[in-house]
Structure 1
Protein backbone atom coordinates (compact mmCIF):
# COMPACT_ATOMS: atom_id res chain seq x y z
CA UNK A 1 0.00 0.00 0.00
CA UNK A 2 1.35 3.44 -0.93
CA UNK A 3 1.38 5.95 1.91
CA UNK A 4 0.57 9.48 0.78
CA UNK A 5 2.59 12.16 2.58
CA UNK A 6 1.81 15.85 2.83
CA UNK A 7 4.39 17.73 0.78
CA UNK A 8 5.05 21.43 1.32
CA UNK A 9 7.10 23.88 -0.75
CA UNK A 10 10.00 25.68 0.90
CA UNK A 11 11.09 28.89 -0.86
CA UNK A 12 14.68 30.07 -0.85
CA UNK A 13 13.55 33.53 0.28
CA UNK A 14 13.39 32.10 3.80
CA UNK A 15 17.19 31.57 3.79
CA UNK A 16 18.89 33.77 1.19
CA UNK A 17 20.00 37.37 1.47
CA UNK A 18 19.83 39.57 -1.66
CA UNK A 19 23.62 39.61 -1.90
CA UNK A 20 24.13 35.98 -0.81
CA UNK A 21 22.12 33.27 -2.65
CA UNK A 22 23.70 30.53 -0.54
CA UNK A 23 22.94 29.18 2.94
CA UNK A 24 24.59 26.56 5.18
CA UNK A 25 23.29 24.94 8.37
CA UNK A 26 23.80 21.95 10.64
CA UNK A 27 20.60 20.43 12.01
CA UNK A 28 19.46 17.61 14.28
CA UNK A 29 16.74 15.96 12.23
CA UNK A 30 13.40 15.21 13.90
CA UNK A 31 9.95 13.87 13.05
CA UNK A 32 8.46 17.38 12.88
CA UNK A 33 9.64 18.43 9.41
CA UNK A 34 7.27 17.52 6.58
CA UNK A 35 8.43 16.17 3.24
CA UNK A 36 9.07 19.22 1.10
CA UNK A 37 10.23 20.57 -2.25
CA UNK A 38 12.22 23.75 -2.80
CA UNK A 39 13.12 26.26 -5.50
CA UNK A 40 16.85 25.89 -4.86
CA UNK A 41 19.51 23.19 -5.11
CA UNK A 42 20.49 21.38 -1.92
CA UNK A 43 23.51 19.26 -1.01
CA UNK A 44 22.93 17.31 2.21
CA UNK A 45 25.59 15.40 4.15
CA UNK A 46 24.91 13.00 7.03
CA UNK A 47 27.52 13.87 9.68
CA UNK A 48 26.29 11.78 12.63
CA UNK A 49 23.84 9.03 13.47
CA UNK A 50 21.54 7.05 11.22
CA UNK A 51 18.00 7.10 9.93
CA UNK A 52 16.10 7.29 6.67
CA UNK A 53 15.91 9.69 3.77
CA UNK A 54 12.54 9.89 2.04
CA UNK A 55 13.25 11.30 -1.41
CA UNK A 56 10.56 11.44 -4.10
CA UNK A 57 8.84 8.04 -3.72
CA UNK A 58 11.91 6.27 -2.36
CA UNK A 59 13.00 5.52 1.20
CA UNK A 60 16.74 5.02 1.76
CA UNK A 61 18.59 4.05 4.96
CA UNK A 62 21.27 6.66 5.72
CA UNK A 63 24.27 6.85 8.04
CA UNK A 64 27.40 8.94 8.48
CA UNK A 65 29.08 9.67 5.16
CA UNK A 66 25.98 9.64 2.95
CA UNK A 67 25.60 12.68 0.70
CA UNK A 68 22.81 13.79 -1.64
CA UNK A 69 22.55 16.29 -4.50
CA UNK A 70 18.91 17.40 -4.64
CA UNK A 71 17.77 19.58 -7.58
CA UNK A 72 14.89 22.04 -7.69
CA UNK A 73 11.47 20.40 -7.38
CA UNK A 74 12.56 17.10 -5.81
CA UNK A 75 10.70 16.33 -2.57
CA UNK A 76 12.53 14.87 0.42
CA UNK A 77 12.85 14.72 4.20
CA UNK A 78 15.26 13.09 6.67
CA UNK A 79 14.07 11.04 9.65
CA UNK A 80 16.18 9.79 12.59
CA UNK A 81 16.15 6.10 13.37
CA UNK A 82 14.72 6.77 16.84
CA UNK A 83 13.32 9.58 18.96
CA UNK A 84 15.96 8.79 21.59
CA UNK A 85 18.46 11.66 22.04
CA UNK A 86 21.37 9.22 21.93
CA UNK A 87 20.42 8.32 18.36
CA UNK A 88 20.54 11.76 16.77
CA UNK A 89 20.67 12.20 13.02
CA UNK A 90 22.83 15.25 12.28
CA UNK A 91 22.82 16.64 8.74
CA UNK A 92 24.72 19.50 7.11
CA UNK A 93 22.80 21.31 4.37
CA UNK A 94 24.32 23.61 1.76
CA UNK A 95 21.69 25.26 -0.43
CA UNK A 96 22.06 27.71 -3.32
CA UNK A 97 20.21 28.95 -6.38
CA UNK A 98 20.53 27.50 -9.85
CA UNK A 99 21.95 30.85 -11.02
CA UNK A 100 24.69 30.71 -8.37
CA UNK A 101 25.67 27.19 -9.48
CA UNK A 102 25.84 28.32 -13.11
CA UNK A 103 28.17 31.16 -12.11
CA UNK A 104 30.30 28.71 -10.12
CA UNK A 105 30.65 26.42 -13.13
CA UNK A 106 31.72 29.38 -15.22
CA UNK A 107 34.23 30.88 -12.76
CA UNK A 108 35.67 27.99 -10.72
CA UNK A 109 35.08 24.90 -12.84
CA UNK A 110 35.51 26.30 -16.31
CA UNK A 111 38.28 23.84 -17.22
CA UNK A 112 36.09 20.84 -16.41
CA UNK A 113 32.72 22.25 -17.40
CA UNK A 114 31.91 19.60 -20.00
CA UNK A 115 32.64 16.74 -17.57
CA UNK A 116 30.52 18.25 -14.83
CA UNK A 117 27.69 19.05 -17.25
CA UNK A 118 27.26 15.32 -17.77
CA UNK A 119 26.53 14.72 -14.09
CA UNK A 120 25.28 17.87 -12.34
CA UNK A 121 23.81 20.01 -15.10
CA UNK A 122 21.89 17.04 -16.47
CA UNK A 123 20.66 16.23 -12.96
CA UNK A 124 19.35 19.78 -12.47
CA UNK A 125 17.71 19.90 -15.90
CA UNK A 126 15.96 16.55 -15.39
CA UNK A 127 15.27 17.04 -11.65
CA UNK A 128 17.15 13.83 -10.91
CA UNK A 129 18.65 13.45 -7.45
CA UNK A 130 22.09 11.93 -6.95
CA UNK A 131 23.56 10.00 -4.00
CA UNK A 132 27.17 9.54 -2.94
CA UNK A 133 29.07 7.73 -0.18
CA UNK A 134 32.10 9.15 1.58
CA UNK A 135 35.01 6.71 1.57
CA UNK A 136 38.06 8.59 2.83
CA UNK A 137 36.64 11.41 4.96
CA UNK A 138 36.71 13.84 2.03
CA UNK A 139 33.26 15.45 2.52
CA UNK A 140 33.07 16.28 6.23
CA UNK A 141 36.00 18.76 6.43
CA UNK A 142 34.47 20.73 3.55
CA UNK A 143 31.08 20.95 5.25
CA UNK A 144 32.71 21.95 8.54
CA UNK A 145 34.58 24.72 6.73
CA UNK A 146 31.44 25.80 4.85
CA UNK A 147 29.47 25.99 8.10
CA UNK A 148 32.22 27.88 9.93
CA UNK A 149 32.82 30.42 7.14
CA UNK A 150 29.11 31.02 6.57
CA UNK A 151 28.49 31.81 10.22
CA UNK A 152 31.71 33.77 10.81
CA UNK A 153 31.24 36.06 7.76
CA UNK A 154 34.91 37.01 7.88
CA UNK A 155 36.69 38.95 5.16
CA UNK A 156 36.74 36.97 1.91
CA UNK A 157 34.33 34.32 3.19
CA UNK A 158 32.36 34.25 -0.08
CA UNK A 159 35.47 33.22 -2.00
CA UNK A 160 36.07 30.39 0.47
CA UNK A 161 32.43 29.26 0.22
CA UNK A 162 32.71 29.12 -3.57
CA UNK A 163 35.97 27.20 -3.38
CA UNK A 164 34.56 24.68 -0.87
CA UNK A 165 31.46 23.99 -2.98
CA UNK A 166 33.64 23.61 -6.08
CA UNK A 167 35.86 21.10 -4.23
CA UNK A 168 32.78 19.29 -3.00
CA UNK A 169 31.44 18.91 -6.54
CA UNK A 170 34.82 17.63 -7.70
CA UNK A 171 34.93 14.96 -4.97
CA UNK A 172 31.33 13.98 -5.74
CA UNK A 173 32.13 13.66 -9.43
CA UNK A 174 35.27 11.63 -8.68
CA UNK A 175 33.38 9.27 -6.39
CA UNK A 176 31.09 8.42 -9.33
CA UNK A 177 33.87 8.13 -11.88
CA UNK A 178 36.26 6.16 -9.66
CA UNK A 179 34.12 3.05 -9.97
CA UNK A 180 35.74 2.37 -13.35
CA UNK A 181 38.10 -0.61 -12.91
CA UNK A 182 41.39 1.00 -13.94
CA UNK A 183 44.59 0.09 -12.12
CA UNK A 184 45.82 3.68 -12.02
CA UNK A 185 42.63 4.86 -10.36
CA UNK A 186 42.68 1.98 -7.91
CA UNK A 187 46.21 2.90 -6.84
CA UNK A 188 45.16 6.54 -6.37
CA UNK A 189 42.25 5.40 -4.22
CA UNK A 190 44.64 3.34 -2.09
CA UNK A 191 46.95 6.35 -1.68
CA UNK A 192 44.00 8.59 -0.83
CA UNK A 193 42.85 6.03 1.74
CA UNK A 194 46.33 5.96 3.27
CA UNK A 195 46.42 9.76 3.55
CA UNK A 196 42.96 9.72 5.19
CA UNK A 197 44.26 7.12 7.68
CA UNK A 198 47.23 9.35 8.53
CA UNK A 199 44.94 12.36 9.06
CA UNK A 200 42.58 10.32 11.23
CA UNK A 201 45.30 8.80 13.45
CA UNK A 202 47.52 11.79 14.14
CA UNK A 203 48.37 10.75 17.69
CA UNK A 204 50.04 7.53 16.53
CA UNK A 205 50.90 7.81 12.82
CA UNK A 206 52.29 4.78 11.05
CA UNK A 207 55.91 4.74 9.89
CA UNK A 208 57.01 4.99 6.26
CA UNK A 209 57.79 1.26 6.30
CA UNK A 210 54.32 0.38 7.61
CA UNK A 211 52.65 2.77 5.15
CA UNK A 212 54.47 1.25 2.19
CA UNK A 213 53.51 -2.24 3.38
CA UNK A 214 49.82 -1.21 3.46
CA UNK A 215 50.04 -0.37 -0.23
CA UNK A 216 52.29 -3.34 -1.01
CA UNK A 217 54.87 -1.06 -2.65
CA UNK A 218 58.43 -0.09 -1.75
CA UNK A 219 59.26 2.88 0.45
CA UNK A 220 60.90 4.57 -2.53
CA UNK A 221 57.74 4.13 -4.63
CA UNK A 222 55.59 5.57 -1.84
CA UNK A 223 57.96 8.52 -1.47
CA UNK A 224 57.69 9.26 -5.21
CA UNK A 225 53.89 9.00 -5.21
CA UNK A 226 53.57 11.29 -2.20
CA UNK A 227 55.89 13.88 -3.76
CA UNK A 228 53.94 13.76 -7.00
CA UNK A 229 50.44 14.02 -5.53
CA UNK A 230 50.99 16.08 -2.35
CA UNK A 231 54.29 17.87 -2.94
CA UNK A 232 55.48 16.60 0.45
CA UNK A 233 57.63 13.81 1.81
CA UNK A 234 56.08 11.21 4.10
CA UNK A 235 57.28 12.95 7.27
CA UNK A 236 56.23 16.37 5.98
CA UNK A 237 52.72 15.04 5.29
CA UNK A 238 52.51 13.52 8.78
CA UNK A 239 53.57 16.80 10.37
CA UNK A 240 51.16 18.72 8.15
CA UNK A 241 48.29 16.42 9.21
CA UNK A 242 49.19 16.79 12.89
CA UNK A 243 49.38 20.58 12.76
CA UNK A 244 46.10 20.76 10.84
CA UNK A 245 44.46 18.61 13.54
CA UNK A 246 45.84 21.03 16.14
CA UNK A 247 44.40 23.99 14.22
CA UNK A 248 40.97 22.36 14.21
CA UNK A 249 41.15 21.88 17.98
CA UNK A 250 42.38 25.42 18.60
CA UNK A 251 39.37 26.73 16.67
CA UNK A 252 36.91 24.40 18.36
CA UNK A 253 37.82 24.36 22.07
CA UNK A 254 39.74 26.10 24.87
CA UNK A 255 41.93 23.18 25.95
CA UNK A 256 45.45 23.99 27.04
CA UNK A 257 47.85 24.22 24.14
CA UNK A 258 50.08 21.56 25.70
CA UNK A 259 47.09 19.20 25.83
CA UNK A 260 46.25 19.94 22.19
CA UNK A 261 49.85 19.21 21.19
CA UNK A 262 49.90 15.98 23.21
CA UNK A 263 46.63 14.81 21.62
CA UNK A 264 48.36 14.56 18.25
CA UNK A 265 51.61 13.11 19.54
CA UNK A 266 53.79 16.15 20.37
CA UNK A 267 55.37 16.08 23.84
CA UNK A 268 58.27 18.48 23.20
CA UNK A 269 56.57 21.90 23.38
CA UNK A 270 59.60 23.81 22.12
CA UNK A 271 59.70 21.68 18.96
CA UNK A 272 55.91 21.88 18.60
CA UNK A 273 55.83 25.68 18.88
CA UNK A 274 58.64 26.05 16.35
CA UNK A 275 56.98 23.66 13.89
CA UNK A 276 53.54 25.26 14.32
CA UNK A 277 54.88 28.75 13.62
CA UNK A 278 56.89 27.48 10.66
CA UNK A 279 53.77 25.99 9.07
CA UNK A 280 51.18 28.63 9.98
CA UNK A 281 53.26 31.79 10.40
CA UNK A 282 51.94 32.37 13.94
CA UNK A 283 52.22 30.74 17.37
CA UNK A 284 49.43 28.42 18.61
CA UNK A 285 48.12 31.08 20.99
CA UNK A 286 48.11 33.71 18.23
CA UNK A 287 46.30 31.29 15.90
CA UNK A 288 43.61 30.66 18.53
CA UNK A 289 43.18 34.40 19.13
CA UNK A 290 42.85 35.13 15.40
CA UNK A 291 40.27 32.35 14.88
CA UNK A 292 37.98 32.98 17.83
Structure 2
Protein backbone atom coordinates (compact mmCIF):
# COMPACT_ATOMS: atom_id res chain seq x y z
CA UNK A 1 0.00 0.00 0.00
CA UNK A 2 1.41 3.36 -1.02
CA UNK A 3 1.77 6.09 1.59
CA UNK A 4 1.55 9.63 0.25
CA UNK A 5 3.17 12.32 2.36
CA UNK A 6 2.79 16.09 2.16
CA UNK A 7 6.00 16.25 0.12
CA UNK A 8 4.31 14.27 -2.68
CA UNK A 9 1.57 16.87 -3.08
CA UNK A 10 2.48 20.31 -1.76
CA UNK A 11 5.08 22.71 -3.05
CA UNK A 12 7.02 24.85 -0.60
CA UNK A 13 4.82 27.12 1.54
CA UNK A 14 1.61 25.63 0.09
CA UNK A 15 -1.35 24.69 2.28
CA UNK A 16 -3.83 23.91 -0.51
CA UNK A 17 -3.30 21.92 -3.70
CA UNK A 18 -5.88 21.48 -6.46
CA UNK A 19 -5.69 18.81 -9.18
CA UNK A 20 -8.06 17.67 -11.93
CA UNK A 21 -7.86 14.01 -12.95
CA UNK A 22 -9.17 12.38 -16.12
CA UNK A 23 -10.49 8.86 -15.77
CA UNK A 24 -8.01 6.45 -14.20
CA UNK A 25 -8.03 3.93 -11.38
CA UNK A 26 -6.19 4.56 -8.11
CA UNK A 27 -4.80 1.69 -6.07
CA UNK A 28 -5.32 1.55 -2.32
CA UNK A 29 -3.25 4.16 -0.52
CA UNK A 30 -3.07 6.29 2.60
CA UNK A 31 -2.00 9.89 3.13
CA UNK A 32 -1.08 12.24 5.95
CA UNK A 33 -3.15 15.13 4.67
CA UNK A 34 -6.86 15.82 4.18
CA UNK A 35 -8.50 15.25 0.81
CA UNK A 36 -11.73 16.53 -0.74
CA UNK A 37 -12.84 14.64 -3.84
CA UNK A 38 -15.47 16.00 -6.21
CA UNK A 39 -16.78 13.80 -9.03
CA UNK A 40 -17.00 16.05 -12.11
CA UNK A 41 -18.23 13.46 -14.59
CA UNK A 42 -19.02 9.79 -15.15
CA UNK A 43 -19.40 7.16 -12.46
CA UNK A 44 -17.16 5.00 -10.33
CA UNK A 45 -16.58 3.36 -6.98
CA UNK A 46 -14.74 4.77 -4.00
CA UNK A 47 -13.23 2.50 -1.34
CA UNK A 48 -12.70 4.09 2.06
CA UNK A 49 -11.33 1.91 4.86
CA UNK A 50 -12.38 -1.15 2.89
CA UNK A 51 -15.99 -0.03 2.28
CA UNK A 52 -17.25 0.37 -1.26
CA UNK A 53 -19.33 3.40 -2.28
CA UNK A 54 -20.85 4.18 -5.66
CA UNK A 55 -20.26 7.78 -6.80
CA UNK A 56 -21.35 9.93 -9.71
CA UNK A 57 -21.16 13.50 -10.95
CA UNK A 58 -22.12 15.96 -8.21
CA UNK A 59 -20.76 13.86 -5.33
CA UNK A 60 -18.22 15.28 -2.91
CA UNK A 61 -16.34 13.10 -0.44
CA UNK A 62 -14.23 14.03 2.55
CA UNK A 63 -11.29 11.69 3.21
CA UNK A 64 -9.45 12.28 6.44
CA UNK A 65 -5.76 11.69 6.95
CA UNK A 66 -4.63 8.13 7.68
CA UNK A 67 -7.70 6.51 6.13
CA UNK A 68 -7.15 3.92 3.40
CA UNK A 69 -8.59 4.99 0.07
CA UNK A 70 -8.88 3.67 -3.49
CA UNK A 71 -11.24 3.96 -6.45
CA UNK A 72 -12.14 2.50 -9.80
CA UNK A 73 -13.65 4.46 -12.67
CA UNK A 74 -16.60 3.60 -14.84
CA UNK A 75 -18.04 5.47 -17.80
CA UNK A 76 -15.26 8.05 -17.94
CA UNK A 77 -15.25 9.29 -14.36
CA UNK A 78 -13.40 12.60 -13.90
CA UNK A 79 -12.77 14.27 -10.59
CA UNK A 80 -11.15 17.12 -8.69
CA UNK A 81 -8.87 16.60 -5.72
CA UNK A 82 -8.37 19.34 -3.15
CA UNK A 83 -5.57 18.53 -0.73
CA UNK A 84 -5.31 20.35 2.62
CA UNK A 85 -2.62 20.28 5.26
CA UNK A 86 -4.16 19.35 8.65
CA UNK A 87 -2.31 22.15 10.42
CA UNK A 88 -3.72 24.65 7.94
CA UNK A 89 -7.27 23.51 8.72
CA UNK A 90 -6.86 23.96 12.46
CA UNK A 91 -4.92 27.22 12.30
CA UNK A 92 -6.41 29.08 9.33
CA UNK A 93 -9.81 27.71 8.34
CA UNK A 94 -11.44 27.06 11.69
CA UNK A 95 -12.64 29.66 14.13
CA UNK A 96 -15.20 29.66 16.91
CA UNK A 97 -17.98 30.39 14.44
CA UNK A 98 -17.43 27.53 12.01
CA UNK A 99 -15.62 24.89 14.08
CA UNK A 100 -18.82 22.99 14.81
CA UNK A 101 -19.62 22.82 11.12
CA UNK A 102 -16.13 21.66 10.20
CA UNK A 103 -16.27 19.00 12.88
CA UNK A 104 -19.54 17.75 11.42
CA UNK A 105 -17.87 17.54 8.03
CA UNK A 106 -14.98 15.48 9.34
CA UNK A 107 -17.26 12.94 11.01
CA UNK A 108 -18.67 11.69 7.73
CA UNK A 109 -19.54 8.27 9.17
CA UNK A 110 -21.87 9.95 11.67
CA UNK A 111 -23.27 12.01 8.82
CA UNK A 112 -23.95 8.90 6.75
CA UNK A 113 -25.71 7.14 9.62
CA UNK A 114 -27.83 10.18 10.44
CA UNK A 115 -28.93 10.75 6.88
CA UNK A 116 -29.42 7.04 6.29
CA UNK A 117 -27.54 6.91 3.00
CA UNK A 118 -25.08 4.29 1.88
CA UNK A 119 -22.22 6.64 1.05
CA UNK A 120 -20.18 9.24 2.95
CA UNK A 121 -20.88 11.95 0.41
CA UNK A 122 -22.56 15.27 -0.02
CA UNK A 123 -24.49 15.16 -3.29
CA UNK A 124 -25.14 18.26 -5.39
CA UNK A 125 -27.48 18.59 -8.35
CA UNK A 126 -28.94 21.24 -10.65
CA UNK A 127 -27.95 24.82 -9.91
CA UNK A 128 -26.02 23.81 -6.79
CA UNK A 129 -23.84 21.49 -8.84
CA UNK A 130 -23.12 24.26 -11.36
CA UNK A 131 -22.05 26.63 -8.56
CA UNK A 132 -19.76 24.04 -7.00
CA UNK A 133 -18.15 23.18 -10.34
CA UNK A 134 -17.66 26.85 -11.16
CA UNK A 135 -15.89 27.33 -7.83
CA UNK A 136 -13.69 24.28 -8.38
CA UNK A 137 -12.74 25.36 -11.90
CA UNK A 138 -11.73 28.79 -10.58
CA UNK A 139 -9.64 27.14 -7.85
CA UNK A 140 -7.88 24.91 -10.38
CA UNK A 141 -7.11 27.84 -12.67
CA UNK A 142 -5.78 29.92 -9.78
CA UNK A 143 -3.64 27.05 -8.49
CA UNK A 144 -2.12 26.29 -11.89
CA UNK A 145 -1.26 29.94 -12.64
CA UNK A 146 0.22 30.63 -9.19
CA UNK A 147 0.19 34.41 -9.27
CA UNK A 148 0.77 36.80 -6.38
CA UNK A 149 -1.79 36.19 -3.64
CA UNK A 150 -2.75 32.73 -4.92
CA UNK A 151 -2.83 31.30 -1.40
CA UNK A 152 -5.29 33.95 -0.23
CA UNK A 153 -7.52 33.47 -3.28
CA UNK A 154 -7.55 29.68 -2.85
CA UNK A 155 -8.45 29.99 0.82
CA UNK A 156 -11.35 32.29 -0.07
CA UNK A 157 -12.66 29.90 -2.72
CA UNK A 158 -12.29 27.00 -0.29
CA UNK A 159 -14.42 28.76 2.31
CA UNK A 160 -17.09 29.34 -0.35
CA UNK A 161 -16.94 25.67 -1.32
CA UNK A 162 -17.21 24.49 2.29
CA UNK A 163 -20.13 26.84 2.84
CA UNK A 164 -21.96 25.07 0.00
CA UNK A 165 -21.19 21.77 1.74
CA UNK A 166 -22.44 23.01 5.13
CA UNK A 167 -25.66 24.29 3.58
CA UNK A 168 -26.27 20.98 1.90
CA UNK A 169 -25.68 19.04 5.08
CA UNK A 170 -27.91 21.37 7.08
CA UNK A 171 -30.68 20.84 4.54
CA UNK A 172 -31.04 17.28 5.81
CA UNK A 173 -32.23 18.68 9.13
CA UNK A 174 -31.07 15.74 11.19
CA UNK A 175 -27.39 16.59 10.94
CA UNK A 176 -26.39 18.47 14.07
CA UNK A 177 -22.97 19.57 15.30
CA UNK A 178 -23.35 17.30 18.31
CA UNK A 179 -20.29 15.31 17.25
CA UNK A 180 -18.28 17.59 19.53
CA UNK A 181 -19.07 15.44 22.55
CA UNK A 182 -17.99 12.30 20.72
CA UNK A 183 -14.82 13.90 19.38
CA UNK A 184 -13.74 15.26 22.77
CA UNK A 185 -14.70 11.93 24.33
CA UNK A 186 -12.46 10.10 21.86
CA UNK A 187 -9.62 12.47 22.64
CA UNK A 188 -10.07 11.95 26.37
CA UNK A 189 -9.74 8.22 25.79
CA UNK A 190 -6.66 8.83 23.64
CA UNK A 191 -5.05 10.94 26.37
CA UNK A 192 -5.87 8.32 29.01
CA UNK A 193 -4.22 5.62 26.90
CA UNK A 194 -1.18 7.72 25.96
CA UNK A 195 -0.69 10.00 28.96
CA UNK A 196 2.79 8.59 29.58
CA UNK A 197 3.92 9.98 26.22
CA UNK A 198 4.76 13.57 25.37
CA UNK A 199 1.46 15.08 24.18
CA UNK A 200 1.42 18.49 22.55
CA UNK A 201 -1.56 20.82 22.40
CA UNK A 202 -1.04 21.24 18.65
CA UNK A 203 -1.13 17.48 18.06
CA UNK A 204 -4.30 17.01 20.11
CA UNK A 205 -6.17 19.97 18.62
CA UNK A 206 -5.35 18.95 15.05
CA UNK A 207 -6.93 15.54 15.62
CA UNK A 208 -10.36 17.16 15.77
CA UNK A 209 -9.58 20.18 13.58
CA UNK A 210 -9.92 22.83 16.28
CA UNK A 211 -7.54 25.71 16.64
CA UNK A 212 -5.63 25.24 19.94
CA UNK A 213 -7.30 28.02 21.94
CA UNK A 214 -10.82 26.94 20.98
CA UNK A 215 -9.92 23.31 21.64
CA UNK A 216 -8.75 24.23 25.16
CA UNK A 217 -12.05 25.94 25.92
CA UNK A 218 -14.09 23.03 24.59
CA UNK A 219 -12.00 20.48 26.49
CA UNK A 220 -12.38 22.29 29.81
CA UNK A 221 -16.11 22.75 29.27
CA UNK A 222 -16.46 19.01 28.65
CA UNK A 223 -14.04 17.59 31.25
CA UNK A 224 -14.02 20.29 33.94
CA UNK A 225 -10.24 20.67 33.84
CA UNK A 226 -7.50 21.89 31.55
CA UNK A 227 -5.66 19.50 29.25
CA UNK A 228 -2.51 19.79 31.37
CA UNK A 229 -4.45 19.04 34.56
CA UNK A 230 -6.08 16.04 32.90
CA UNK A 231 -2.73 14.65 31.75
CA UNK A 232 -1.21 15.05 35.24
CA UNK A 233 -4.23 13.41 36.85
CA UNK A 234 -3.97 10.35 34.62
CA UNK A 235 -0.22 10.07 35.12
CA UNK A 236 -0.62 10.16 38.89
CA UNK A 237 -3.39 7.54 38.70
CA UNK A 238 -1.01 5.26 36.82
CA UNK A 239 1.73 5.96 39.34
CA UNK A 240 -0.60 5.00 42.19
CA UNK A 241 -1.39 1.71 40.49
CA UNK A 242 2.29 0.93 39.97
CA UNK A 243 3.13 1.80 43.57
CA UNK A 244 0.55 -0.72 44.71
CA UNK A 245 1.03 -3.50 42.19
CA UNK A 246 4.75 -3.41 41.34
CA UNK A 247 8.12 -3.42 43.07
CA UNK A 248 9.54 -0.66 40.87
CA UNK A 249 11.34 2.20 42.54
CA UNK A 250 9.71 5.61 42.76
CA UNK A 251 12.22 6.94 40.22
CA UNK A 252 11.37 4.16 37.75
CA UNK A 253 7.67 4.82 38.18
CA UNK A 254 8.16 8.55 37.75
CA UNK A 255 9.89 8.04 34.40
CA UNK A 256 7.47 5.31 33.38
CA UNK A 257 4.41 7.52 33.71
CA UNK A 258 5.95 10.37 31.73
CA UNK A 259 7.87 12.58 34.18
CA UNK A 260 11.46 13.42 33.30
CA UNK A 261 11.52 15.94 36.16
CA UNK A 262 11.43 14.08 39.48
CA UNK A 263 10.66 17.24 41.45
CA UNK A 264 7.57 17.89 39.32
CA UNK A 265 6.42 14.30 39.84
CA UNK A 266 6.69 14.60 43.63
CA UNK A 267 4.87 17.94 43.55
CA UNK A 268 1.97 16.65 41.44
CA UNK A 269 1.76 13.42 43.40
CA UNK A 270 1.42 15.27 46.71
CA UNK A 271 -1.16 17.64 45.20
CA UNK A 272 -3.32 14.70 44.14
CA UNK A 273 -2.87 12.34 47.11
CA UNK A 274 -1.77 14.54 50.01
CA UNK A 275 1.33 12.42 50.63
CA UNK A 276 4.64 11.45 49.06
CA UNK A 277 4.91 8.37 46.79
CA UNK A 278 6.74 6.43 49.52
CA UNK A 279 4.10 7.33 52.11
CA UNK A 280 1.35 6.34 49.67
CA UNK A 281 2.96 2.97 48.93
CA UNK A 282 3.34 2.20 52.62
CA UNK A 283 -0.22 3.28 53.46
CA UNK A 284 -2.02 1.44 50.66
CA UNK A 285 0.04 -1.72 51.12
CA UNK A 286 -0.91 -1.84 54.80
CA UNK A 287 -4.57 -1.26 53.94
CA UNK A 288 -4.38 -3.85 51.15
CA UNK A 289 -2.94 -6.47 53.52
CA UNK A 290 -5.67 -5.77 56.06
Q: How many residues align?
A: 163
Q: Contact conserved, 1:71 with 1:123, CA < 8 A, in 2?
A: no
Q: Secondary structure at the match of 1:60?
A: strand
* Alpha-carbon offset, residue 121 of structure 1: 5.5
Q: What do residues 192-233 of structure 1 show as CA deviations (whole Å, max 9, x unaligned)?
A: xxxxxxxxxxxxxxxxxxxxxxxxxxxxxxxxxxxxxxxxxx
| Counterpart-to-counterpart distance in 2, 1:121 and 1:47 | 22
Instruction: Tell me the TM-score normalized by structure 1.
Output: 0.51
| Cα root mean square deviation, aligned | 2.4
What residue ranges of structure 2 are gaps of 5+ in the alignment? 114-118, 175-290
Q: Contact conserved, 2:39 with 2:58, CA < 8 A, in 1?
A: yes
Q: Is the aligned partner of 1:132 residue 2:117?
A: no
Q: What do residues 151-201 of structure 1 show as CA deviations (whole Å, max 9, x unaligned)?
A: 0112222111001111111111111111129xxxxxxxxxxxxxxxxxxxx
From 52, 60, 63, give the equivalent of 2:45.
52
From 159, 162, 173, give the equivalent of 2:155.
162
| Counterpart position of 2:70 | 77
| Counterpart position of 1:21 | 15
Q: What do residues 84-141 of structure 1 show as CA deviations (whole Å, max 9, x unaligned)?
A: xxx31111000011011112324xxx362243244135569xxx99421013223211
Give the number of the structure with larger relative contact order, counting CA–CA contacts within 8 Å between residues 6 or more apart: 2
Describe the shift of the 1:10–1:130 C-alpha distance in structure 2 as closer, same or farther (beyond 3 A): same
* Alpha-carbon offset, residue 79 of structure 1: 1.1
Q: Is the aligned partner of 1:96 residue 2:89?
A: no
Q: Contact conserved, 1:104 with 1:166, CA < 8 A, in 2?
A: no
Q: Contact conserved, 1:9 with 1:36, CA < 8 A, in 2?
A: yes
Q: Contact conserved, 1:29 with 1:78, CA < 8 A, in 2?
A: no
Q: Secondary structure at the match of 1:17?
A: coil
| Counterpart position of 1:282 | none
| Counterpart position of 2:104 | 119
What residue ranges of structure 1 are gaps of 5+ in the alignment? 1-6, 82-86, 182-292
1:1-292 mapped onto 2 (5 Å cutoff): 7-31=1-25, 33-81=26-74, 87-106=75-94, 110=95, 112-120=97-105, 130-135=120-125, 136-137=128-129, 138-180=131-173
| Counterpart-to-counterpart distance in 2, 1:52 and 1:122 | 20
Q: Secondary structure at the match of 1:139?
A: helix
